[in-house]
Amino acid sequence: MTGQRAIVLGAGLVLFALIAASPGGLAGNFRKTWAAGATLLGLSLLSDVAPEIAAPLAVLVVLAVAVRGKSQLGAIVSGSQSKTTATKTNVQPKKPGAQTNA
């Protein structure tokens, strides 16, 4: 097994671990689990033909799932752990010639 194929296999295992760690687990996230299996199959076939392309692509897929998911990495990147909220204020434009009370 070459290094690129090992990266693809390791990325697939990490992908399934990220899905299993999310709320609902593997069974609760059937669509994500099926998509991860199809992605891993495609990446493993690509690693037979062009391993220098498949390995970086596998790492990018795992990074995308980790960031997009509800994992700790996704919460850090999206900033959802901070409880700050922006307040929206309505500011009306001043009419010409209107006086303001100061």
pTM above 0.75, yes or no: no
Q: Where are the domains of the chain?
A: 3-78
* pLDDT of 19 strictly over 60: yes
| Amino acid making up residue 85 | T
Q: Whats the size of the chain, residue-wise? A: 102
Contacts with 90 (C-beta within 8 Å, 6 or more apart), sequence order: none
Per the prediction, the chain carries an average pLDDT of 74
Q: What is the pLDDT of residues 22-66, one digit of tens each?
A: 777 777 778 878 888 888 888 888 888 888 888 888 888 888 877
Q: How far apart are CA 49 and CA 52, in angstroms?
A: 9
Determine contact, residues 96/74, Cβ cutoff 8 Å. no
Which of the residue ranges 3-17, 30-44, 85-99 would you say has the lowest mean pLDDT? Answer: 85-99
Triad 27, 30, 32: Cα angle to 5°: 120
Q: Residue written as tokens 């899905």?
A: 19
